[in-house]
Amino acid sequence: MAKDPLHTKLCDLLGIEFPIIAFTHCKDVAVAVINAGGFAVLGEAMHTPEDIAADVAWIRDRVDGKKFGIDLVLPASVPPTGSTEELLAQIPETQRAYADSIKEKYDVPDPKGPVDLHQWGGLNQELARAQLEVLLDERVPVLASGLGSPAFILDAAHERDMLVFGLVGKPRQAERQLEVGIDAIIAQGYDAAGHTGAIGTFSIVPQVAAIAGDTPVIAAGGVTTGRHLAAALCLGASGIWSGTQWLASRESDADMIIKERLLASTASDTTYSNTISGMTMRVLKCPWTEEWAKPEAPDVLPAPYQMLLSSDYIQGANDHRRADLMTEASGQGVDFVTTMKPARQVLFDMVEEALATFEETVGELD
């Protein structure tokens, strides 16, 4: 085979060596992956516009002109505006009382300070808009939207030479974004950590690839090893996007309790649950998800109210490092995350295994 199977159109679009994208909240992970020849997108949906600008500058200082991305969430279904206090006041008494009963049953401590989740761009459209403005001002090379269509921002981004990537869980969503000229589409399956739809990765990726034409498709959801990478390319993707494995990498600033838990967890330790944010999401099981899954639990609230309700529990657990209560987004690929490797090693191991897989399948490569 004359062609390098890992050199795809996504590599050309981004100027990268390997078609591997790390989704991470940790700047050190992002920089390590970018400087090792992959690509990274930093999740900034929880950050203030000022913090986003500072993080963009920090990354720029360390990647020697290479491209990088920032991910926000832009759900259309949340209120246009409203302070956290106003939104909190709209939470019905039944759900509030149930949350209080969980707090009491598990002795969940109060957060030590202001709740970080109250910055989440998914709480109202005004917050997300302010975050977006920074990305446009800074001309961030790649803007990704993890929730909600970024179609409305395409023209403004393209005028600034920025690329826009959309993340979808259904072929119909991909179709709409492709119609308006999205630059790449992340087809994310049910295995994935974080907000995700109900269609499996093996089903969604080839469906989106079939309608994407020349637009690169990026496979996400459980894509964790080199074998997964090779399979994703065979399904029609031009690259992969993963999250869980970088969370457990050595550079990751995730709490060591979470990292150790990821290393020890299997897919069965994760749950597909709408109880954290009101939208379906894959996370590590914890008392909050298990209590809300009980038949006697009240209805889960829609976004953003359930997120406001869970944020007190989550931050109380995190601030006090209560291992028995803590949770984090985790995908089913967590079975393959067994050692805490440096991020560049995660990347190189994936590349090496993918090449070995192709060789095993089709014979020696150039």
What does the alpha-carbon distance between residue 53 and residue 281 come to, in Å, rounded to a whole number? 28
Pattern 157-176, binding to ligand FMN, x per CB under 6 A?
A: ----------x---------
- Report the residue number, 167 or 279, with the smaller CB distance to ligand FMN: 167
Question: CB of residue 23 vs ligand FMN: minimum separation in angstroms?
Answer: 4
Minimum distance between the CB of residue 26 and ligand FMN, rounded to whole angstroms?
10
Give the strand pairing for 184-188 and 142-147.
unpaired
Residues paired with residue 241 on neighbouring β-strands, in sequence order: 21, 220
CA distances to 39, 235, 285, 294 from 24, rounded to whole Å, are: 11, 24, 21, 32
For the chain, helix, strand, coil in percent to 5 are: 45, 15, 40
Kindly state the smallest distance separating residue 196's Cβ from ligand FMN, in Å: 7
- Residue 56: both structure tokens together: 């963009």
Q: Which of 16, 22, 30, 45 touches ligand FMN by CB under 6 A? A: 45
Interaction residues for ligand FMN, span 305-344 (CB under 6 A): 328-329, 331, 333
With contacts defined by CB under 6 A, how many residues of the chain interact with ligand FMN?
Answer: 25
Residue 243 engages ligand FMN in binding (rule: CB under 6 A): yes
Q: Closer CB to ligand FMN, residue 128 or residue 301? A: 128
Of 98 and 350, the one with the shorter C-beta distance to ligand FMN is 350
Q: Assess 140 for contact with ligand FMN (CB under 6 A).
A: no
Segment contacting ligand FMN by CB under 6 A, of 218-226, 307-315, 316-324, 343-351: 218-226
* Neighbouring C-beta atoms of residue 338, cutoff 10 Å: 12
Whether 316 contacts 224, CB under 8 Å? no
Stretch that binds ligand FMN, among 129-137, 185-193, 263-271, 317-325 (CB under 6 A): 185-193
Residue 356 vs residues 35, 132, 226, 239, 353: alpha-carbon distances, Å:
23, 41, 8, 17, 5
Cβ of residue 1: shortest distance to ligand FMN, in angstroms?
A: 28
Q: Are 197 and 176 in contact (CB under 8 A)?
A: no
Q: Which helix (H) or strand (E) holds 315?
A: helix 305-319
CA–CA separation, 136 vs 52, rounded Å? 12
Rule CB under 6 A: say whether 124 interacts with ligand FMN. no
Query: What does the alpha-carbon distance between residue 35 and residue 252 come to, in Å, rounded to a whole number?
Result: 16
**Of 194, 239, 304, 316, the one binding ligand FMN by CB under 6 A:** 194
> What is the three-class DSSP state of 275?
coil
Q: How far is the CB of 144 from ligand FMN (least distance, A)?
A: 6
- Of 57-65, 105-113, 158-166, 243-251: span binding ligand FMN (CB under 6 A): 243-251
Contact residues for ligand FMN, defined by CB under 6 A: 23, 43, 45, 71, 73, 146, 167, 188, 191-194, 220-223, 241-244, 247, 328-329, 331, 333
